[in-house]
Amino acid sequence: MRYFSTRGETPPMAFTDAVLTGLAPDGGLLLPDHIPDVRDRLAAWRSLGYVQLAQELIALFVDDIPRSTLDDIIRRAYATFDHPEIAPLVPVGGVSVMELFHGPTLAFKDVALQFLGRLFEYVLRQRGEHLNILGATSGDTGSAAIAGVRGLADIDIFIMYPAGRVSELQELQMTTVLDPNVHCLSVSGSFDDCQNLMKTLFGDLPFKSSYHLGAVNSVNWARVLAQVVYYAWASLRFDSDVPVRFAVPTGNFGNVFAGYVARRMGLPVGDLVVATNENDILSVFFNSGAYARGPVRFTITPAMDIQVASNFERYLFYRLGEDPAALRAFMRQFAETGAASVEGGAGGDFVATAVNVAETSATISAVYAESGYVVDPHTAVGLAAARRLPYAGPTVCLATAHPAKFPEAVDAAVGAPVARHERLERLRGLPARSTPVPASLQAIRDFIETHAARR
């Protein structure tokens, strides 16, 4: 299995090289040279536990790590979760909620980043190298990435987050980690600003090489791969003639793109519902074929307050007939004008709808009143979208974070203090460390040059 760039100007590479590369040198995103067809394995896979399924599926995409070593990396990654099923399904009002928040930081990002952190550790030790991870977070990626690599001698991690635009507890999950290899940067701007700074620095190839920059954002293929597993897991839990529909709260598109990969593999994945908040660039695209950037709207679902979805490029590559030149032209037009469109429209690969703040709060309230179940605002967006769009088969909504990460919004919607978790409450009052910086390329560059180990 080799990995190539969507933009077609980077030589193919092995899986471990793709893990360390993150964003391709030509600015594109890495994809496998083929997606395995697993339809002849589904009957056997139905009887597997989550970890066993992850070991079988991930191994199909990895041929440069010994199988026994890869299996051990996966086993250790999910030993950190506090639920034996890793991603349990909970029936809530006719929909199955897949709880993806049982990892160390109570967010779905742990599913991928506990795996990625151990991958980094293995590859760097094999090569005798040091990696400087640069990441941007709208809330959960930062803490999950930090939890995956804190204290590791071969890694320094630099996480940018938009000042005042993540929840208090999300910020504390990052800034109270005082290991010397952890660097938190509070950026005076939006998440899109942070993401653009990250991509620009990755595009500076001499700087990237000199400081051996690596990525933990979902531009890293290994993150998407780990997320494919829970679509496989959930889709095989139902005995239905109709494929399973997934409603996915969506900001950066990596989570729902993993479902698209699962469906291309032949798993029984039906409709993929792209559920956005009022930052509806993806919803507009899948309903019209027009992709146009607008101003970032700040909502009670901060992880989705995004106007430029970095993983969208991976889907576009397939939608444009796997033509790198067409992809480059689309991305160039979007970069220059803030808008681009696909001839023939968006196709039928996704169903999309946008959910506003009032509907989000109303859904949190209604779900609690109906079933006593507490959902975070992002999960509520997914549930609202699922309720809005009829479907003949089973529906799974991805619960992307524990509601205790957003107590203000959840408690206000329910009218009672219901969003609590002991692990988060213990963070209050702890020493914290963060560096405020302007949304300036030079400021981020200077900080890395001062604090990072050169290659």
Q: Where are the alpha helices (DSSP H) in 128-163?
A: 140-149
Options 109, 199, 208, 405, the catalytic residue: 109
Cα–Cα distances in angstroms (integers) from residue 365 to residues 99, 302, 358, in the given order: 19, 19, 11
For residue 337, the one-letter residue type is T
C-alpha closest to that of 299 among 224, 215, 199, 406:
406
**Residue 109 bears catalytic tag:** yes
Which residue carries 């990237």 as its tokens?
Answer: 208
Angle of helix 191-203 versus helix 441-451 axis, rounded to 10: 60
What residues contact 174, with CB distance under 8 A and at least 6 apart?
Answer: 137, 142, 143, 146, 159, 161, 182, 184, 434
CA atoms within 13 A on the CB side of 238: 25
What residues contact 374, with CB distance under 8 A and at least 6 apart?
Answer: 364, 367, 368, 403, 410, 414, 418, 419
Provide the annotated active-site residues. Answer: 109
